[in-house]
């Protein structure tokens, strides 16, 4: 799986994937991270869960 840590040191790849220069992406990343944390808190932490995180049926491979 591709994630930011893998493309962080590769500016050409980051730009081709996002359409933004690394400096522009870093500026957006701050806002996106704050919005993501707010979403996680609102949707997952404040709502009661039927099972613990990671609970439930797991596939057999």
Give the tens place of pLDDT for each residue, 1-51. 778 888 888 999 999 988 999 899 889 989 999 999 988 888 777 667 676
pTM above 0.85, yes or no: no
Q: Is 19 left (phi over 0), alpha (psi -120 to 50) or beta?
A: left
Q: Is residue 59 a part of any domain in this protein?
A: no
Q: How many domains does the chain have?
A: 1
Domain containing residue 31: 4-41
Q: Is residue 56 a part of any domain in this protein?
A: no
Q: Is residue 54 a part of any domain in this protein?
A: no
Q: What is the residue-wise DSSP string for 1-61?
A: ---HHHHTT-HHHHHHHHSS-HHHHHHHHHHHHHHHHHHHIIIIISS--SS-TT-S-----
**Block residue for tokens 């991270």:** 33
Q: Is residue 9 a part of any domain in this protein?
A: yes
Q: Is residue 61 a part of any domain in this protein?
A: no
Gap between the Cα atoms of 28 and 21, Å rounded: 11
Question: What pLDDT, on a 0 to 100 scale, did the predictor assign at position 46?
Answer: 67
Q: Is residue 25 a part of any domain in this protein?
A: yes
Question: What pLDDT, on a 0 to 100 scale, did the predictor assign at position 56?
Answer: 73
């Amino acid at each position: 799986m591709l994630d930011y840590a893998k493309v962080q040191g590769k500016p050409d790849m980051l730009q081709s994937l996002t359409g933004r220069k690394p400096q522009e992406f870093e500026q957006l990343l701050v806002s996106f991270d704050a919005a993501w944390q707010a979403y996680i808190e609102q949707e997952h932490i404040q709502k009661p869960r039927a099972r613990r995180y990671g609970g439930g049926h797991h596939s057999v491979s």
